[in-house]
Structure 1
Amino acid sequence: MSEFIVNIDNCDLEPIHIPGKIQSHGFLIVISTTSQIEFVSENTANFLKISATDLLGKNITEVERIIDYQIQPAFISNLLLFGKNDNFEQVNPFEFTLSGFLFYLVISKSDSYYLLEFEVAGQDAALDIQKQMGRAIANMLGDKSLTNLLNNSAQQIKNIIHFDRIMIYKFAEDDHGEVISEAKNDDLASWIGLHYPASDIPKQARELYKKNLTRLIANVDEAPSRILSSHSAHDHLDLTHSQLRAVSPIHIQYLKNMGVASSFSISLLYKGELWGLIACHNYTPRFIDFKSRESAKLIGQILSSALEFRQDEEDQQLVDGFSKSLDKLSRYLNKTEIISEALLEQDVNLLNIVQASGAILIHENSVNELGKTPGKEQLANLLTWIKENVTEPVYQTNNLPEVYPAALEYKDVASGMLVCILSKDLSEYIIWFKPEIIETIKWAGDPGKPFEFNTAGGLQISPRHSFDLWMQTVTGKSEKWSKLEIRSVRQLRDEIIYAINQKANALRLLNEKLKIAYDELDTFSYTISHDLKNPLAVIKSYTQLLSRDKTIGDQGMKFLSRIGYGADKMHSLITEVLDYSRIGRAEVEHQNIDARAMITEIISDLRVIYHTENLKIHVGETPDLQGEKTMLLQVFSNLIGNAMKYSQNTAHPEVNIEGSIGKDHVQYSIRDNGIGIDPKDHHRLFELFQRMDNAQEIEGTGVGLSIVKRILDKHNARIWIESEVGKGSTFYVVFPLLQ
């Protein structure tokens, strides 16, 4: 087989399942489906006294004759026939005698080949395995404590295989491992609590541990035996299920650097995934036969089941707690109109569905806090980051300062963050926080991947030489968010969205009723306003006739003038109310509007009305607009007219009109240096018939800005004001860009 050089780019790609060699404490013969020998390990001659090359191409009956099995001359052929249907579980191991020694034959499948592995049945075969197993299992499961279960399991494995050190090694989410239990010789130092980097057991090795539940390395100093073949396929013979598969040279060197002469491992699985290993070390070469390995494997399987049961039991308790809280929150959401009240102000709240120390609900432009959370300014900046970076409905991290460095200043409150998006468009979220947990990790040597230069001058992986204690303090991390917590949050999100949709449906029905009432009110306003014009016209006509009577004195003429002025004002008010009502019924037909031409025309007309010769009007950029031309003419006429009207009494009146184009909008500002408006009155500025206290002496009806607001609502546009008394006013109008 060609040499595979492990380097920094391919350390997880080393083909350890096709090493082209086997360990030399047994021999391997590989046959095709026609029983022809296709592969033979070179050391077969040491056991069968026949050259390995002489066996290639022969039928397996040649081997049967050499072994000279006394009961069944064709025993291998019969085993293959019998074991094909059950993957050879019922026939492995098959015992026979060779040259006076007891041997085991273990058969397994590899693609279209059958692997026949022969190894000595060692002295351990004499042990009463069945009786030992009974005692071992009883001792293992005799205590409900997880720590005692692990310790008992390690000790029972040691009793069966008699290795110097037995460790139970658990994998973390990042694939590094920690020794959490051990049974050892008294003269050895304890390794409990030591951590080992993920690079010690690369990805492809972890995959093999899921398929082969036990793995023996009998002697690290023993040279492996090559696999021979009459064709080039020996480079690709898959030994995934082989008992004798040779070991990666990197791993052999790693064990030697630790002073280990022999190792044995048993896989621990949780729901089909690798939970950990029972790692066994011996400081002298040690071979354990197949039956002893199978017994140890059974203990590993029992321990895996026990761990799964204990974990499921703990998980179920959490699930039950979360479920009860979710049920209560669901009931509150259905009963309560206000979402924040349902989630925050009851005996069960957002903190009861996860294990968090703080939570924030951002909903309907309100920020509500529970427990320990970042400060207001810190939170505002964090929310900006979330809006720009979080896209999935539920996002979690237990190392917030790593992804968002600004969180370092409040890591004691929020090293962990779990975000649930209720509405990205409306910027509505629920966010949970977990505090920092400072952790000191004891590594068996520097956890960094060691490299060395190979003969070609490139970097390649080198097994660590030092296993001296190496301490690392980890900060900025919280306890991890569990799958159960994330599932609980997803369920809550579904409940909230359902409740919001239900409330939205109710609002839609209410809106339909309001629309009908609104239309009726529009019709009523139009009718009343229209009918009021007739008596006003009569009053105006009689006033004009009476004013021609020369017999009426000055006092009478003054009264008639006041009556005429009141009638004119009433007529203007009725006209504006009609305009306001008409806008409610009008449909907007968008068209492109030359804003500069429109604004120029408005200014020209208004200069005649207000006689403001000393008024300076500056018009900057005027990007075109999209909308209903007559309506927008009314908007700008009103806003520019107000700016001129309310600044005409200042010494040097000025009006500035400026437009700009944003990413998805057009914005205009109309600024004056007039009388200004008190900030406490800004909220009622766009309501009907509202006039500010400092504007009572200036003519107006209080309807104009209401019309402006209604027209802009029709165009999905926004308007707001910045103003202070005596410092002028600036009105901002933002129109969306239409596709």
Structure 2
Amino acid sequence: MIKFSVDLTNCDKEPIHIPGKVQSHGFLIAVDKIDLSISYLSGNTEVFIKAVASNLLGKPLSAINAFLDQPTPGFNLEDLLRLGIIRKSFDAISPHPVIIDNNQYYITIADSVNNWLLEFEPATLQYDIQSMIGRSAAEMLQGKSVNSLLKGAAAEVKKLINFDRVMIYKFLDDGHGEVVAEELNEDLEPFFGLHYPASDIPKQARELYKLNLTRLIADVNKEDSPILTFLEDKPLDLTNSGLRAVSPIHIQYLKNMGVSSSFSISLISHGELWGLIACHNYSPKFIDYKAREGAKLIGQILSSALEYRQDEEDSQIVEQFKDIATILSEHLNKDKYLIDAITSHKKTILEVTKACGVAILFENNLKTIGDVPGDDDILVLAEWLKQTNHESIYFTHRLSEIYSPASKYKSIASGILSCTISKELGEMIIWFKPELISTVKWAGNPDKPTTLAENGLLSLSPRKSFEAWSEVVNNTSEKWLSEEIASVLRVREIIITDVNKKANEIRLLNEKLQSAYEELDTFSYTISHDLRTPLTSVKTYAELMLRNKSLDDSAKNMLSRILTGAEKMNFLIKEILNLARVGRLDITFETVNMQSLLKEITTEVWAAFKADKSELILGQVSDIKGDKTMIAQVFTNLISNAIKYSSMVEKPEIKISSYIDGREIVYAVKDNGMGIDNRYYDRVFELFKRMDNVKEIEGTGVGLAIVKRVVERHNGRVWFESKLNEGSTFYVAFKNI
């Protein structure tokens, strides 16, 4: 027998599949697959068949037949074994009944690398297991939800095997388990809701639970029987054995709990170990093979029902998320602006997940819904995500442990799920889940205790106390469901498709607009140029006729009006040529000294308009990069308008200032003049459009159209604020390069 020492360095590597022992309520014989000779057998074999066990080693399997009474005359173990080999399965012949010394036993056969395992156990079942299983399954499946299904399963298993306590034990993501349903005798303390650390059922034990769907420990106080063999250093693999002995640590663990016998049924969902039906008895209890198989069948039915019920509940969530995605897609098709489409309707981007808040960063705008951190905190978080995350999706339910600045708003955002729309532009959507402070009740301290062995190693010591031990878990949100992540991915694709579609539409419109601009520029230049020649002739002849002294006052007055009209038309043609020139000229970018340029412009404008009574307030102004000639034209027009439209007030005042706003330099030209009626706000920058209240003030309606054209060619923005009879402020924003 090979001995294996278990300490803190190898707990998860304990070779529990080769313990070198079997439980002593039955006995085992292993025969070589080639010659069917007995290569291993348990030391307690002689207790059952009244033969010296060691004398059987190396003998043919037929040597055992003499000790067995077969219900079928002439049938022997070799025939039974060969029948299973021919069928390539032992399921149909297991268990096979035999009689030993007038006692009934079951034989089961299993595979073990180079050997066949023949295991003998008492047959004790005294009731109709088939009818009981049918009734139990029907009762159990009445549960319509996962929780009611689990509770029903625990009750039915207890009726079937009559253990003192039956628990449904669910494995969580990190391997630790929780008791999620329980049926127990009235005199016992409940374990429902208690958590057990992952080390209680190590990884290799969980793997065996996937292979062996039931596991019985009949009596923790009964000494196991060693396996005998003449093959040195070749331990027998008992992976598929029902009699396999249990790890000494687990035996001590059960003893510390006061448990004398345990039985477990594996619950498998989608090919993985979902949990166990864990049964405890506080006195020794043996369950024969057929009863165990009946319990296994209940476990398999429960496993299938769990998959179905969980998939059903998950599918409801998925359908809800899909409905939201469909609705958002419809809004995106109808609405012009993306943020409006996903935030301004009854169903919003927030409902794509079960989050409590969401932030959308798109086209240099931040829009939020629900409970979210402050704007500045969101922008800093977004920058961190942009720098550290290289995937399209990022999620965590423990944000402050990864990103320390989040600790100050953990009550709102302990969990985040973000999806990137454009990494280059830093455009993304972030969903937030609040901190979920919870109390986890452990069955004793989850830190597995240790003892100092004689060899100086720290050895694992099974917990002795199983009193509820509470641990408060904070800095943590509810975990993100896989359905939520799938929902975000689905909506991300919809949004990106919409963005690309609208980008293509804008590109086509820009191409058409550029073509129209070029045609308009050419047309404007040609017409304006051609108009100037006949206009000059009209003006010249009118001036010549005015020199004729024989004309009376009426004729002179008419000629003067012709000259005035010609002057106005000449000025309008000049403005149109300026507008056309803005579209035709190439932009030469340079750093423009705005302090110097504005002083030069204001001096000229003040002189041209004889604005001696107007006060100029020139604040601190920042230099910008652009075409100096075009920039001069912008501010000449804005300052000229400010003087013209404030000339009617007693103390005209024009203020010029600038400030930096993120990536932009914003200029403001403010006057205290007549202002703009809000009925005309949408016409301010249109060509040849003038307000009704400025008819008496000279102008063409071209100046602000030129301003808009120049600013847009510099990739900037222009807008205004105005109140009637209080004044106007025009803003122009240039990129802060």
Q: TM-score over 0.5 for the alignment?
A: yes
Match for residue 94 of structure 1? 96
Match for residue 134 of structure 1? 134
Partners of 2:314 and 2:590 lie apart in 1 by: 67
Match for residue 495 of structure 1? 494
Is the contact between residue 415 and residue 435 of structure 2 (CA under 8 Å) also seen in structure 1?
A: yes
Number of equivalent positions: 707
Partners of 1:203 and 1:38 lie apart in 2 by: 33
Match for residue 725 of structure 1? none
Is the contact between residue 711 and residue 732 of structure 2 (CA under 8 Å) also seen in structure 1?
A: no
Determine if the alignment matches structure 1 residue 510 to structure 2 residue 506: no
The Cα shift of 1:303 comes to 1.9
Is the contact between residue 42 and residue 225 of structure 2 (CA under 8 Å) also seen in structure 1?
A: no
Match for residue 153 of structure 1? 153
Match for residue 207 of structure 1? 207
1:523-546 C-alpha deviation (Å, 9 max, x unpaired): 23444566578789999999xxxx
What does residue range 572-651 of structure 1 map to in structure 2 within 5 Å? none
Is the contact between residue 258 and residue 465 of structure 1 (CA under 8 Å) also seen in structure 2?
A: yes
Match for residue 225 of structure 1? 226
Is the contact between residue 6 and residue 14 of structure 1 (CA under 8 Å) also seen in structure 2?
A: no
Determine if the alignment matches structure 1 residue 63 to structure 2 residue 61: yes
The Cα shift of 1:411 comes to 4.2
Are the structure 2 counterparts of residues 639 and 338 from structure 1 closer, same or farther at C-alpha, using a change threshold of 3 Å? closer
Match for residue 81 of structure 2? 79
1:331-380 C-alpha deviation (Å, 9 max, x unpaired): 2322222333333333333344433433343434443333xx346x7243
Match for residue 697 of structure 2? none
Are the structure 2 counterparts of residues 517 and 208 from structure 1 closer, same or farther at C-alpha, using a change threshold of 3 Å? same
Match for residue 279 of structure 1? 278
Match for residue 462 of structure 1? 461
Q: TM-score, normalised by structure 1?
A: 0.72
Determine if the alignment matches structure 1 residue 172 to structure 2 residue 172: yes
Partners of 1:18 and 1:447 lie apart in 2 by: 26
> Secondary structure at 1:126's aligned position in 2?
coil
The Cα shift of 1:416 comes to 3.7
Q: Which amino acid aligns with 2:155?
A: Q
Is the contact between residue 445 and residue 466 of structure 1 (CA under 8 Å) also seen in structure 2?
A: yes
Are the structure 2 counterparts of residues 38 and 387 from structure 1 closer, same or farther at C-alpha, using a change threshold of 3 Å? farther
Partners of 1:44 and 1:282 lie apart in 2 by: 25
Match for residue 659 of structure 1? none
> Secondary structure at 1:245's aligned position in 2?
coil
Match for residue 523 of structure 1? 522
Is the contact between residue 44 and residue 52 of structure 1 (CA under 8 Å) also seen in structure 2?
A: no
Are the structure 2 counterparts of residues 531 and 459 from structure 1 closer, same or farther at C-alpha, using a change threshold of 3 Å? farther
Partners of 2:540 and 2:209 lie apart in 1 by: 105
Is the contact between residue 44 and residue 50 of structure 1 (CA under 8 Å) also seen in structure 2?
A: no
> Secondary structure at 2:157's aligned position in 1?
helix
Deviation beyond 6 Å, 4+ runs, structure 1: 532-542, 570-580, 593-596, 631-642, 667-670, 684-689, 701-720, 730-736
The Cα shift of 1:73 comes to 5.5
Match for residue 109 of structure 1? 111
1:145-199 C-alpha deviation (Å, 9 max, x unpaired): 6555434422332333332221111222333222222222332212122121222
Q: TM-score, normalised by structure 2?
A: 0.72
Are the structure 2 counterparts of residues 79 and 38 from structure 1 closer, same or farther at C-alpha, using a change threshold of 3 Å? closer
Partners of 1:229 and 1:160 lie apart in 2 by: 42
Is the contact between residue 94 and residue 108 of structure 2 (CA under 8 Å) also seen in structure 1?
A: yes
What does residue range 426-575 of structure 1 map to in structure 2 within 5 Å? 426-528=425-527
Are the structure 2 counterparts of residues 154 and 581 from structure 1 closer, same or farther at C-alpha, using a change threshold of 3 Å? same
The Cα shift of 1:708 comes to 11
Match for residue 162 of structure 2? 162
Q: Which amino acid aligns with 1:367?
A: L
> Secondary structure at 2:13's aligned position in 1?
coil
Determine if the alignment matches structure 1 residue 319 to structure 2 residue 321: no
> Secondary structure at 2:178's aligned position in 1?
strand
1:86-137 C-alpha deviation (Å, 9 max, x unpaired): 5322122222233443332222234x43431313x33533333223323333
What does residue range 267-416 of structure 1 map to in structure 2 within 5 Å? 267-370=266-369, 373-374=370-371, 378-389=374-385, 391=389, 392-416=391-415
Paired-residue identity, %: 44
The Cα shift of 1:229 comes to 5.6
Partners of 1:531 and 1:50 lie apart in 2 by: 127
Are the structure 2 counterparts of residues 82 and 345 from structure 1 closer, same or farther at C-alpha, using a change threshold of 3 Å? same
Partners of 2:635 and 2:324 lie apart in 1 by: 57
> Secondary structure at 1:298's aligned position in 2?
helix
Partners of 1:269 and 1:139 lie apart in 2 by: 20
Partners of 1:444 and 1:595 lie apart in 2 by: 73
1:571-612 C-alpha deviation (Å, 9 max, x unpaired): 9999998798677567x9x99x9999x99xx9xxx9xx9xxx
Is the contact between residue 717 and residue 735 of structure 1 (CA under 8 Å) also seen in structure 2?
A: no
The Cα shift of 1:258 comes to 1.6
> Secondary structure at 2:252's aligned position in 1?
helix
Q: Which amino acid aligns with 2:157?
A: I
Partners of 2:85 and 2:375 lie apart in 1 by: 66
Partners of 2:591 and 2:344 lie apart in 1 by: 51
Unaligned runs of at least 5 residues, structure 1 = 543-566, 610-624, 626-630, 643-664, 671-683, 690-700, 721-729
1:604-641 C-alpha deviation (Å, 9 max, x unpaired): xx9xx9xxxxxxxxxxxxxxx9xxxxx97878999999
1:683-702 C-alpha deviation (Å, 9 max, x unpaired): x999999xxxxxxxxxxx99
Partners of 2:536 and 2:408 lie apart in 1 by: 73
> Secondary structure at 1:89's aligned position in 2?
coil
What is the alpha-carbon root mean square deviation over aligned residues? 6.1
The Cα shift of 1:40 comes to 1.2
Partners of 2:477 and 2:409 lie apart in 1 by: 12
Partners of 2:238 and 2:158 lie apart in 1 by: 28
Partners of 1:243 and 1:365 lie apart in 2 by: 66
Deviates more, 1:259-268 or 1:405-414: 405-414
Match for residue 243 of structure 1? 242
Is the contact between residue 16 and residue 247 of structure 2 (CA under 8 Å) also seen in structure 1?
A: no
Partners of 1:106 and 1:536 lie apart in 2 by: 116
Partners of 2:44 and 2:486 lie apart in 1 by: 56
Partners of 2:206 and 2:684 lie apart in 1 by: 70
The Cα shift of 1:266 comes to 0.7
Match for residue 22 of structure 2? 23
Match for residue 563 of structure 1? none
Partners of 2:466 and 2:190 lie apart in 1 by: 13
Are the structure 2 counterparts of residues 519 and 10 from structure 1 closer, same or farther at C-alpha, using a change threshold of 3 Å? farther
Partners of 2:346 and 2:703 lie apart in 1 by: 50
Partners of 2:368 and 2:206 lie apart in 1 by: 44
